Structure 1
């Protein structure tokens, strides 16, 4: 799956980008596979009873209970091995805090090319931030994606200029393209922005 995202078009002097078809950036970040947690099964048995003890059906029969399994908290190393990460907070222009996530940084050409196409799913509080050196018109696609995304285009002042809602593609996603302008592009789960009240004009707070 590591070749699932391809760069279609480059703007002047730009290396191929993943998830991104067109851009003026040479920067990009590696993608990592999201490990699937394997639930732990707990063996349970129901005691048997005999006809010689008729009361056992009501008093001695125990209902097996499954022991709840602990859900591992995803870590940067497990979700995106080899990637740098950063914490991103979202706020209104007036400074009201809205939400926060952890984002893997796509900074190299290969990381831009691959994007999240090698990821089967994304935790609700995770994303991928594509980092460039300057503002540019950009085009991202959904080639070989297994789930839908919100794409946030962000300018050099870290203000959201536009948001594209990209549902999971029905085919290979090559024809599902989304345009925007910014220095950064943040990908999160589909409709995440609506669930968290994040909209155009809001501000991202993060350090690189």
Structure 2
């Protein structure tokens, strides 16, 4: 953030702030993540008013990450407000783009909405609306969606569908899947229902759970 500030370029600073929100979220500092989002909106105001697509994308992603922070803080009104702001920016951008490696656009807003509903325990909404084509999205975003969707399917008792989503995600990016805590949590749930042969678990679910270090 200090180096970005020294560049005297609002877009560089906003990009650093986006990384900052990820770090704050990872450390459970939800309120600080939302405050950083508000600051970024002020920095980018002139560029956003001029409909600069890079500024729209960076601010849109900041709002989406801040919305996730609010949801994890169980603050639905704030999460909904931030999602609405991001959706307006995505509508202005008009399509799924990848300025500054954001992958921002209408689809990413929808994917974040699903992730937020999962954080707010609205499993039924995610199951009903989660079948989205994410093949054109950046790898990290498409994999994250499949992981979230699998979690919702598992919680809804749809174990086979949940495992299918995890396998698709793993084929796309083994590293992202095998190091994800939500994947491990879902696999632990799925292994409780996996078949047992000759006293040992032998299902594909259990084998994947071992790969992901969800079980010993």
TM > 0.5 fold call:
no
Q: Whose helix proportion is higher, 1 or 2?
A: 2
TM range, smaller chain:
under 0.3
Normalised TM-score (structure 1):
0.28
| Structure with the larger RCO, 1 or 2 (CA within 8 Å, 6+ apart) | 1
Larger Rg belongs to: 1
Q: Whose strand proportion is higher, 1 or 2?
A: 1
